[in-house]
Amino acid sequence: MPFKILFTFWFFLLGSAIGSFLNVLIYRLPRKESILFPPSHCPSCNHKLAPKDLFPIFSYIFLKGRCRYCGAKISIRYPLVEILTAIFFALSFWLYGWSFYCLKMLIFFSLLLPIFFIDLEHMLIPDVLSFTGLGLGLFLSLLEGKIYQSILGSIVFGGVLLLIYLGALFILKEEGMGQGDIKLGFLLGSFLGLKLSLLALFLSYILGGIISIFILLFKDKNLKTAIPFGPFLILGSFISLFWGESIISFYLSLFIK
């Protein structure tokens, strides 16, 4: 047990460092900037950040959420992404240990968290993340011996979204969702497989419908207001991933006595 606690703490630190890199992706990919050059700098004054400015989570706290050099406010997203990644990495190791499934979950999360925030902030999903994620999902499923489930899940998840997109174009003469959501669907299905993909799709539309109603009621929006759907697809997929089997079993128990 002491070693498990020690390694869990190490995964927390690793996750916070990975989260710091994910923040780079979130900021630079939508702006089509290199993720390597220039080195980390303040987006307000462009001053190069020193190593003491780059400690995940703690630098934000010590700097009180402001740039050391110009005093500009630092977005709360930076520590939030680092904390979420650190917690997820630690929990994944605590629950699954040194397993292939743990590795797969860490990769899955590290792909989806930047997509979540990029779509939320910019209403776009970078192709580089979608195509890289799809390739990794298929490759990891091949190593796991679940390649057929992965292919089926990808085809169904992405295919259903594609049909909805084409249907909206044909009937409403407008896009019902972004093309990036369709590519994201192929990525998600490659990790989830067929059964969990179907559940994730259902949950995504339920969550999207409920939250969209609240936005329309309380945020002075109208029915023509564009709302990013990627975050709902991601939330539905994570619910399906962790509790999908229990949800499906409970649903079937209502009809099978």
Domain boundary among 81, 97, 113: 97
Clarify whether residues 13 and 25 are in a common domain: yes
pTM attached to this predicted model: 0.92
Clarify whether residues 206 and 147 are in a common domain: yes
Domain of residue 22: give its range: 1-97
Euclidean distance between CA atoms 136 and 69, whole angstroms = 40
| Confidence tier at 99 by pLDDT (50, 70, 90) | very high
Clarify whether residues 116 and 34 are in a common domain: no
Q: Domain tally for the chain?
A: 2
Enumerate residues 6+ apart whose C-beta is below 8 A from 67: 42, 44, 45, 47, 73, 74
Helix (H, G, I), strand (E, B) or coil at 27: helix
Euclidean distance between CA atoms 170 and 219, whole angstroms = 30
Model confidence pLDDT, tens digit, residues 146-205: 999 999 999 999 999 999 999 888 887 777 788 999 999 999 999 999 999 999 999 999
- Cα distances from 178 to residues 4, 98, 114, 169, in angstroms, run 43, 38, 17, 11
Out of 7-16, 161-170, 196-205, 208-217, least confident range: 208-217
Clarify whether residues 256 and 156 are in a common domain: yes
Domain boundary among 54, 82, 97: 97
| Nearest by Cα to 93 from 113, 117, 111, 109 | 109
- Specify the length of the chain in residues: 257
| Nearest by Cα to 12 from 123, 68, 87 | 87
